[in-house]
A and B are shown apart, each in its own frame.
Chain A
Amino acid sequence: MALLQIAEPGQSTKPHEHRYAAGIDLGTTNSLIATVRSGVAETLPDLEGNHLLPSIVHYAKDGTVSVGHSAKIFQCSDSENTISSVKRLMGRGLADVQAIKAFTANQLTASGIGEKGMPAIQVFDQIKNPIEISAEILKVLARRAESALGLQKDEQLGGVVITVPAYFDDAQRQATKDAAQLAGLNVLRLINEPTAAAVAYGLDTGNEGIHAIYDLGGGTFDISILRLEKGVYEVLSTGGDSALGGDDFDRAIAAHLVELAKVDSDDRQAYQMAMLKAREVKEALTDHESIDVHFMNWNGQVARELINKLMAPIIDKTLLACRRTIKDAGLKPTDIKEIVMVGGSTRVPLVQEKVGQYFKQEPMTSIDPDKVVAIGAAIQADILIGNKSNDQLLLLDVLPLSLGVETMGGLVEKIIPRNTPIPIARAQEFTTFKDGQTAMAIHVVQGERELVDDCRSLARFELRGIPPMVAGAARIKVTYQVDADGLLNVFAEETTSGVQAEIQVKPSYGLTDSQVTDMLKSSIEKAEEDMQLRMLREEQVEASRVVEAVRAALDDNGKLLLSQDEYEAIESSVIQLETIAQGTDIEAIKEAIKIVDTNSQEFASKRMDASIAKALVGSEVDDI
């Protein structure tokens, strides 16, 4: 019989210690953080009681960074150094974003540290890229959660779930994950905003059936069709536009105001004021039919009807995406049992009216559309960190945009079509074009169009060292692997010779891992010792996570699936790791973790097979 182990007080983590996790909605206009406390998921306010943190960052000349309401004050007075809607720049190329009027030409520059064409913003003598700016917002939110949860100085959030628009492409997702890493956060999972909203609603109502989530935020629009059955949220299809949102309403109204007031439309400050006024007008007309407006030297009445006329074409665009997405799910609008409204822009009466007409039913708005995404993310974070081990809730999401590769003539060959459930892997074989060809360029693209130029370029890499053969003889197998975060890895292999190349898709407009690490290092303005201590602490946390996970697995069915030798090998490596983790040698801890990982690889795979076998038996029993 195995002896019961008793840890020395304060030396080891308790087996089911409550860990702190949070859900973050990193929005175009506003951001929120939520967490589950005593079984209730709620968004967390700042000291003044504000739940919404405006996604605005201001850089002062002396280097002071302010975020949120304190940055908003500078929007008119120091507009050049105040950045709002940075989410619109994430994972984009400079050329993509020059069209967005929210950023002036002299604000936008090419990034100094980024790859070619990655946009960045000039603030005084510094250049800030979108990932750094987003990280500032994330840091403020994380600090808010830490103080709300009463964490001590050396305690951190165990992990976060960050939401992204379902329609975000690989580059945009990667940029979001990089921003979190830069902010020092452990990302448990990136989840799609509409899926998070569905979780918040599903738990609220326990409704089974097919739901549509209509999510119109400040700068992005998503529509997702989900089937909720026995706690499983299966996304059937998703669509939208990652550059369409409530900001576009403001822009349309602002352009009209500028026209009415006969102001020079190139006047940056006047334009900023028009945008602020436009938002005010839009919000006031949510509850009123008509209001008095004073803008610059213009005074007059603005009726809801007028702004409805300006907004209608934008809303129609969203309905077109709804149509396509419902079709992709193989359904008709009448199959949708419920339509859930998410995002601040769905407060606009015309949006509710038009969506209601299209789906022929009253849209659901019972949870605050601004908070619902963060709440759903918090619920998922709590499950992923392991606080609710027996919960049946499971999210099955899909790839929002097709992934392909460039072939001859600038055409795209699709490798994984959109709406394929993730994680997924697909391989495709290609061959050489010329006799004796020894290298092949692989250009990874994402999008639905047939021409490479109309799709988003994700990455380019080369497979070298192909043995010279006649044209068409080499077999190059390109494998795309999309993980549960929706992030892509690409492997290429010449199968007759075994020459390989692998890249994690670090997009054309992103940062490399080492750039992220460098930025992380330079952003920590602490002494080298503190840095060492932090790294040690992180490694120890990782070690105890591994120990706990492998122990739990061994207890569960180790005896059943492993021979005595195998069992003992894993167990002794775990004990070894536990001992080493109490020391201060970071490298030794890393090495010990690796040994446990290697020893338990086969076991992990066997456990999966055993689970599948059990699940299949279970479903047959259900059938009877």
Chain B
Amino acid sequence: MKNPFELFGLEPNFLLDEQELSQKLRNMLQSVHPDRFASGSDQEQLAAMQKTTQINDAYGVLKSPVRRAQALLQLKAGLDGSKEVTVKDPVFLMQQLELREELETLSTKKDMGGLMDFAETIESMEDAQIASINDLFQQEGENQLLESDKILTEIYKLQFLRKTLMDIDAAEEKILG
């Protein structure tokens, strides 16, 4: 089976053009979506469902920075990017604690404005994190070797930020009832 990049006819790069991605998705699904075969034979309906499933799944991987980075790591270094990593970076661990604490405080105070500002802060941290993962992928070629372990750690950090954003959402929902 083709990897997500191949399926979309893309070079295996971390950076990608979201507009191009969704345009490709639309073009492919226009021709293979099950709705195109609703009055076709059973085999066509089955094949259409299988292809569309593959395309949707690949799209999900490519659209998410975390899953895209994991897929790329798998492709380039044969590493399972979703496996557990232990982060020993003390600066990050400290920051992790501080962010959780801030979330806790804002939730207890039911400070909606504060939570929204906090979410914006995390979002910009996320952008920075995505940029640094991209840098690591770009280094391959210049330094030749891909620092895959380091990338794994950076992916983990990105996941942590994502999780924090989801927890902020949950806290907001709880306040709103």
B29 part of interface (Cβ distance < 8 Å): yes
Assembly CA distance A609 to B177 (angstroms): 48
A608 part of interface (Cβ distance < 8 Å): yes
Partner of A385, one of B30, B36, B38, B57: B38
- Nearest residue (CB) in A for B119 is A327
- Nearest residue (CB) in A for B54 is A425
A421 part of interface (Cβ distance < 8 Å): yes
Pair A394/B49 contact, Cβ less than 8 Å: no
- Chain A residues closer than 8 Å to B41, beta-carbon distance: 545-546, 549-550, 553, 596-597, 600, 604
Chain B interface, >50% SS class: helix
> Shortest Cβ distance from B43 into chain A, in angstroms?
4
Interchain pairs with CB closer than 8 A, number? 136
Pair A232/B30 contact, Cβ less than 8 Å: yes
Q: From known contacts A230-B26, A484-B35, A596-B41, infer whether A604 and B173 are also in contact, taking CB-CB under 8 Å.
A: no
Most buried by A among B27, B34, B57, B176: B27
Binds B, one of A116-124, A247-255, A610-618: A610-618
Tell me the A566-624 residues at the B interface (CB within 8 Å).
Answer: 596-597, 600-601, 603-605, 607-609, 611-612, 614-616, 618-620, 622-623
Most buried by A among B22, B28, B38, B50: B38
Pair A394/B33 contact, Cβ less than 8 Å: yes
Pair A189/B31 contact, Cβ less than 8 Å: no
- Chain A residues closer than 8 Å to B32, beta-carbon distance: 608, 611-612, 615
Number of A residues near B (Cβ < 8 Å) is 55
> Shortest Cβ distance from B123 into chain A, in angstroms?
10
Partner of B44, one of A384, A425, A483, A549: A549
B56 part of interface (Cβ distance < 8 Å): yes
Partner of A600, one of B20, B43, B56, B176: B43
A94 part of interface (Cβ distance < 8 Å): no
- Chain A residues closer than 8 Å to B24, beta-carbon distance: 615-616, 619
B1-31 near A? 1/0 per residue, CB < 8 Å:
0000001110000000000101110111111
Number of B residues near A (Cβ < 8 Å) is 43
A97 part of interface (Cβ distance < 8 Å): no
Assembly CA distance A623 to B37 (angstroms): 28
Tell me the A278-309 residues at the B interface (CB within 8 Å).
Answer: none
> Shortest Cβ distance from A177 into chain B, in angstroms?
14
- Chain B residues closer than 8 Å to A601, beta-carbon distance: 43, 46-47
A324 part of interface (Cβ distance < 8 Å): yes
A2 part of interface (Cβ distance < 8 Å): no
Assembly CA distance A262 to B118 (angstroms): 51
Assembly CA distance A19 to B35 (angstroms): 16
Pair A481/B27 contact, Cβ less than 8 Å: no
Assembly CA distance A320 to B173 (angstroms): 8
Pair B26/A234 contact, Cβ less than 8 Å: yes
B143-176 near A? 1/0 per residue, CB < 8 Å:
0000000000000000000000000010001001
A335 part of interface (Cβ distance < 8 Å): no
A144 part of interface (Cβ distance < 8 Å): no
Partner of A623, one of B20, B35, B47, B50: B20
Assembly CA distance A395 to B27 (angstroms): 13
A516 part of interface (Cβ distance < 8 Å): no
B59 part of interface (Cβ distance < 8 Å): yes
Q: From known contacts A601-B43, A608-B32, A619-B27, infer whether A421 and B59 are also in contact, taking CB-CB under 8 Å.
A: yes
Pair A425/B57 contact, Cβ less than 8 Å: yes
Assembly CA distance A383 to B35 (angstroms): 8
Assembly CA distance A601 to B44 (angstroms): 7
B74 part of interface (Cβ distance < 8 Å): no
> Shortest Cβ distance from B4 into chain A, in angstroms?
13
B51 part of interface (Cβ distance < 8 Å): yes
Pair B33/A483 contact, Cβ less than 8 Å: no
Show 17 A/B contacts (Cβ-Cβ < 8 Å), sorted by A: A230-B26, A234-B22, A327-B169, A392-B30, A394-B26, A394-B30, A395-B35, A396-B33, A423-B49, A424-B60, A484-B49, A608-B50, A608-B51, A615-B28, A615-B32, A619-B23, A619-B24
